[in-house]
Structure 1
Amino acid sequence: MDLLIQILISGFIIGAIYALGAAGMAAIFGISGILNLAHGALIVLAAMVAWYVGQHTALGLYGAAGVGILAAIAATYLLYGLVILPLERFRHIPPEEKHVFQLVATLLVAIVIQGILEWAFGATPVTTPPMMDGVIRIGGNTVPRNSLLIGAVAWLVLLGLWLFISRTRLGKAMLAASMSPKGLAIVGYDIGRIHLAIWGLYGLVVGVAGVLLASFTSASGPVATNLTAISFTIVVLGGLGSILGSLAGAYILGFLSTLTAYLISPALSELPGLVLLILVLYVRPQGLFGRR
């Protein structure tokens, strides 16, 4: 029973972090139609900037976290303004091929960011101090309060993201942009400003995910590729562009990896998720919550 409780708790926390990271990738794909392969690098950027600022300034833990989130937002806007937008406007690329160019470009940006992070901070994994000290006993298990707080914060951000998109005027405009950009422009919206807001929101989500990651486990440049792969697996498993699907996919993957780590070996924790993804792609290529 104690092992079951431990698996449930660990799966909940890991699933929450996975869901937050994947929700950003799902949102930017669902609304802008761009599969950003620099996703993991942006998460690690926020984590390592937060760690560095916390270690070398007097801003404190939460001030450093804020700087890390701002760094992710700034990097996201640079990615959009210097890479994505010019490719969208470049007339010599056929419209049907622009997504391929954007995909390759974001991959190159990920490599550049990872290289800069390793040059600036080294390849040694870093961890920020816990946001909350102490432990709590659940059944016969001792669980760090910080881990529970991280899971709760991730869920609050996910809830805030859902409320923003579904209840606010700007959020509804973003959702409409994913369905019919031309129709949205006809009714008077500036599509350029909508996309700026979308990328800013995306930067905020990945920034928070990076800060939480650094507090829960550790972050380093080489981890970026793995984070992108995990988020991509979740997004494809749930259905490209579906935030609800990403949430479900994150918890499926989170519990599968936790079960494997506890019952078999941590070295094989990612294998069941990849096998499940292959099966889903054979049976339901659009993902669990994707449209036919």
Structure 2
Amino acid sequence: MISFRQLHYFIAAAQAGSATRAAERLNVSQPSVSTAIRELEGQFGQPLFERRQALGLELTKFGVEKLAEARAVVGRLEHFASASGAEPAPRLSLAYFATIGPSCLPQVLAKLLRDMPGLQVDLRECDLDALSRSLERGIVDLALTYDVGLPASVSREVLAEYQPHAVMATEHPLARQPDVSLAELAQYPFILVDLPLSREFLMVPFWQQGLSPNVVLRTASVEMVRSMAANGLGVSMLFTRPRHDMSHDGKPVTCLPIRDRTPCQRLVAAYASGAPMSLAAKAALSIIRSHFSPADKA
């Protein structure tokens, strides 16, 4: 007989990628989680996870299928408990694209925790590729990300649109202009955000004009890009922009609009289409949607 506890531990292990981390989040012992998973695998007669030494747990193809079913069952049980007057602690697995996290996620979290008392949030920072896989496999409930590389099986709601901007030191020759062209940026040493899918998205507008920026430095961190640009190590182009024009090390950064017609970047709330959403995920999505709506900011 499969129990709610087994399903709950299985979902937590899939989301955490580790029995140890799942146990920490659930405040139970690691053997309890491992035993629950082994019991499920024994009843199914095949593994739910691949055990990778020092790398944690990876869902098998069968595990991906069973995870979707487990989430659906747990979602129905949550609904039953809610209808019966019981109030289980809401839990949300929320992924976010690494470069946008610091600029928008803390405000979203503050609103979620204020409007959903007792909510427990499991955060997962990802690059675009890993985020898409997590959504497609049902490992996370929701994700805040750019609308880049998401598979067809993932639904999305547009929250905001961002235009690209150039980043450079305040003493850079281009900094005195009101805006810059891609051709002008390509004439100077370029600092690239080196993340899967992100780097290609940033380079496509240059390539479409037959331009090849001289990439001298690469980093996965937007703040590193801004700090290196502020220190005169090169120019860059970004979509994510903090509310201030200072680098992490306290130097001013000049941010200028791009003169050329370039594609905007859409910030979206994304979730798997195939599986029903939990009550917590539905409530969180509504709160996130309201946070970004013009009416909410009026």
Same fold (TM over 0.5): no
Using the size of structure 1 for normalisation, the TM-score is: 0.24
Using the size of structure 2 for normalisation, the TM-score is: 0.24
> Greater Rg, structure 1 or structure 2?
2
